[in-house]
Chains A and B, each alone.
Chain A
Amino acid sequence: MKVPLHVAKEQEVKAAGFKPTPETEIKEKFLAKLDDVRSSMRSIMVMLETCTKCGNCAQQCHSYLGTNDYNNFPAARAELMRRVYKRYFTTAGKLLGRFYGAEEFDSELISKWMTYFYQCNECRRCAQFCPFGIDTAEVTIAARHIMSELGIMPKFMAGIAVNMEKSGNNMGIPKPAIVDCAEFMEDEMRDETGLDIKIPIDKPNSDVLYVPSSADFFTNVDTMIGAAKMFHHLGVNWTISSKILEAANFGLLFNMNVMREHNQRLKEAAREVGASLVVQGECGHGWRAARMYTEGASGPVPFKIMHVLEYAAENLSKLPLRKLPLRVTLHDPCNYARAGGVIEQPRQIIRACVEEFVEMTPNREENFCCGGGSGILMDEMMEIRMQLGKKKAEQVKALGSLDYFAVPCSICKAQLPHVMKHYGMGSLSMGGVMDLVGKAMVFDK
Chain B
Amino acid sequence: MLYFIGQVFPYIAMGVFLAGLAWRVLTWLKAPVPFQLTMFPAPASAVERVTAVGKQLCLFTPLYKGDRTLWFWAWIMHVSLALVIVGHIVGIYFLTQQFTLIGLSPKASTLLSESLGTVAGIMLLLSLLALFYRRTAIAEVKRLSDPADYFDLLLILAVVITGMHMRLPTVHVDLPVIRTYLGGLLTLQPVPIPENWLFISHFLLVNILMIYFPFSKLVHLLGSVVSRAMISEAPPVYPTPAGVQRQATIFAKEGQSYESSATRGQGTGSQSRGV
- List residues of A whose CB falls within 8 A of some B CB: 14-19, 21, 29, 36-47, 49-60, 70, 73, 75-76, 79, 90-92, 96, 98-101, 124, 127-135, 138, 145, 148-151, 162, 165-166, 255-258, 260-261, 276, 291-297, 299-305, 337-341, 343, 365-366
Q: Which of A49, A260, A302, A340 contacts B239 (CB 8 A)?
A: A302
> Is there an interface contact between B246 and A296, defined as CB atoms closer than 8 Å?
yes
Inside 8 A of B216's CB, which chain A residues have their CB?
92, 100
Q: Which of A47, A165, A261 contacts B262 (CB 8 A)?
A: A261
* Cα–Cα distance between A166 and B273 once the two chains are bound (Å): 10
Nearest residue, chain B, Cβ from A133 = B231
> Is there an interface contact between B228 and A133, defined as CB atoms closer than 8 Å?
yes
Besides A40-B32, A91-B215, A365-B39, 14 new A-B residue pairs in contact (Cβ under 8 A), listed by A number: A15-B275, A17-B265, A40-B249, A40-B252, A43-B33, A43-B230, A49-B223, A51-B220, A54-B70, A132-B223, A138-B37, A257-B264, A261-B262, A299-B245
> Is there an interface contact between B230 and A36, defined as CB atoms closer than 8 Å?
no
Nearest residue, chain A, Cβ from B251 = A40
Nearest residue, chain A, Cβ from B140 = A58
Q: Which of A36, A129, A296 contacts B35 (CB 8 A)?
A: A296
> Is there an interface contact between B265 and A42, defined as CB atoms closer than 8 Å?
no
Say whether, besides A50-B224, A132-B223, A257-B251, A338 and B33 are in contact (CB < 8 Å): no
A67 to chain B, nearest CB (A): 13
Interface of B is mostly: loop
> Is there an interface contact between B39 and A339, defined as CB atoms closer than 8 Å?
yes
Say whether, besides A18-B265, A166-B274, A301-B239, A295 and B246 are in contact (CB < 8 Å): yes
> Is there an interface contact between B39 and A129, defined as CB atoms closer than 8 Å?
no
- Chain B 230-272 interface 0/1 with A at a Cβ cutoff of 8 Å (1 = within): 1110011011100011111111110000000111111010101
Q: List 22 A-B contacts (CB under 8 A).
A: A15-B275, A19-B268, A40-B250, A44-B31, A46-B230, A47-B227, A55-B144, A79-B144, A92-B216, A100-B146, A128-B62, A132-B224, A133-B230, A256-B250, A257-B264, A276-B239, A295-B246, A296-B36, A299-B245, A301-B239, A338-B39, A341-B235
Q: Which of B148, B217, B274 contacts A99 (CB 8 A)?
A: B148
What are the 9 closest A-B residue pairs judged by CB atoms, nearest first?
A: A50-B223, A101-B146, A300-B240, A55-B141, A17-B273, A295-B236, A42-B31, A341-B40, A296-B35
> Is there an interface contact between B224 and A131, defined as CB atoms closer than 8 Å?
yes
Say whether, besides A129-B65, A131-B74, A45 and B31 are in contact (CB < 8 Å): yes
B138 to chain A, nearest CB (A): 6
Which of A43, A150, A341 has the largest count of B CB atoms less than 10 A from its CB? Answer: A43
Nearest residue, chain A, Cβ from B247 = A296
B34 beta carbon closer than 8 Å to chain A: yes
> Is there an interface contact between A53 and B145, defined as CB atoms closer than 8 Å?
yes
> Is there an interface contact between A40 and B144, defined as CB atoms closer than 8 Å?
no
Nearest residue, chain B, Cβ from A38 = B31
Q: Which of B31, B63, B70, B272 contacts A14 (CB 8 A)?
A: B272
> Is there an interface contact between A76 and B74, defined as CB atoms closer than 8 Å?
no
Inside 8 A of A100's CB, which chain B residues have their CB?
146-148, 216
Which of B138, B228, B231, B252 has the largest count of A CB atoms less than 10 A from its CB? Answer: B231
Say whether, besides A50-B223, A132-B228, A292 and B217 are in contact (CB < 8 Å): no
> Is there an interface contact between B63 and A131, defined as CB atoms closer than 8 Å?
yes
Inside 8 A of A162's CB, which chain B residues have their CB?
274
